[in-house]
Amino acid sequence: MLNRFQTRATDLSQRPKFYQDNRFVLFLWVLITLIFVIDSWATHRYNNYLIFENTFRNLLHEKSLYALYPAYHDDANHYGPVFSVLIAPFALMHNWIGLLFWNLFNCFLLFKAIQTLPLSEDNKVVIGYIAIPCLIESMLNQQFNAGAGALMILSYTLINKDKGIWATLCIVLGTFIKLYGIVGLVFFFFTKNKPGFILWLIVWSVVLFLLPMLIASPDYVIHCYVDWKNSLVGKNMVNVLGGGIDISIMGFFRELFGEKKIPNSLFLILGAILFMLPFINVSRFKKRRFQLMILSSVLIFPILFSTGAEDCTFIISIVGVGVWYVKESNQAMKKVLLPILLVITCNFPLLLFPVFAKSHPLSLAIISLPYFLVWLRVIYMATNNRFAYAEETESDMVTALID
C-alpha cells in the first residue's frame, strides 16, 4: 500500500506543470486573440480587416484591388489577387463576426504549424511563449502574417513528411499572397522527389494564378497582377524615400548612417549570399538540426530584407528565433540575445512616446537589429564546420517519427 502511494506521489511530482503544457499555451494564444478582437469591437478599429474583406467585393465587381477606398477604409491592399478568394468566407460574414473568425483562423493556423515541427513538446511550448509579444501585435493589427508564417513552416514540415504535393501548395500560396513564401523554394534541397517537387510547383502556380478567374474575367485578373506589382514597387519607394517608416535591416542601417540613398540592391545581394552560404554543406542536407537552422533562416530573412516589413510582420520571424533558441547550445548567447530581442520587439518607444518615435525613425527601425544578430548566428551555426551536426540522437528520431 505504501509503495503504491509512493509510486503515485512520484508520478504526480514528475507530471509537467500546467504552464508547461501546449494546451495552456494554446489557451493563452486564443485568449490574446479574443482580447484584441473585443478591443477592436469596442473601439470600432477594423481598418486592416476592412481592407482585406473589401478585396473580395472588389473582385466580384471587377474593381481595382489596389486603389484607395476612403469611404470604406484607410490605406490600400498590397496582397496578391488570390488573397481576395482566400478572404471570401470571412467577407461573407458580418464584419464583427468575420473579424473574430479571421483572427482565430490565423491564430490556430500558426499554432498548428508549430506543432508539426520535428521538436519535442517542451521545445514547442518554449516557442509558443517566445512568440507571444509578436502574436499580440499581429492580432492587434488583424493581419495575415501569422498565416503567412504558418505556410512557410508547413512548406518545410510537409516536405519532411514526404508530402511534397501539399508542401509546394504552401510555398506557391504563400508567394501568391505575400511573396515571402518564395524563400520556401530552398526546401527543394531537402525533398527526395525533386522532379515531383518541380512539377507540383508548376501545377499549383497555374491553379492559383487562374483561381480568381472563377469569379472574375481573365483580362481583369491579369491586370490585377500587373497592379499588384506596381503597388509593391510604389510601397517600396515610399518606405525607402521617407514617406513611410522602413523598419527592415536596410532601413536600420540607412537611418543609422543617415544615408537614404544606399540602394536596396546592395543589401539584398549581401543578404542573399549569406542566406545561401550554408548550402555549401551538401553533406548536411539530411541532418535534422541543419534543416531546422535553414527553416529558422527562412522565417527571419525575408522580413529583415523587406522594406514593406511592419512591427506586426515579425510574428513570422519570431518563430524562427524560437527554433534557433531551442537548438542553441551557447547558454550565454541565449540569456543575453533573447531578452534583448523580446524587449525591443515590444516596441516601447512607439507605445510610450509615439510622437518622439515617429519623428526619430531609428528608434523604430532598431526592432530589426536583434533579429539580424540572431539570423547571423543561425547562418554561422549552419555554415561553420565547428557546428557540424552529429547524427540525430535516439530521442530526436523518436520525436521525428511521432511528428
Domain chopping of the chain, boundaries? 22-386
Cell of 252: 536600420
pTM summary value: 0.90
Give the per-residue pLDDT at 394.
39
CA distance 69 to 65: 10
Q: Which residue has the cell 513611410?
A: 244
Give the per-residue pLDDT at 351.
65
CA distance 288 to 313: 27
Give the per-residue pLDDT at 350.
65
Q: What share of the chain is helix, strand, coil (3-state, %, to 5)?
A: 75, 0, 25
Give the per-residue pLDDT at 273.
95
Mean pLDDT per 10-residue section of the chain, whose length is 403 residues:
52 66 93 95 91 94 93 90 95 94 97 96 95 93 94 95 94 94 94 93 96 95 94 78 75 84 87 94 89 96 88 93 93 90 80 66 85 95 68 44 43
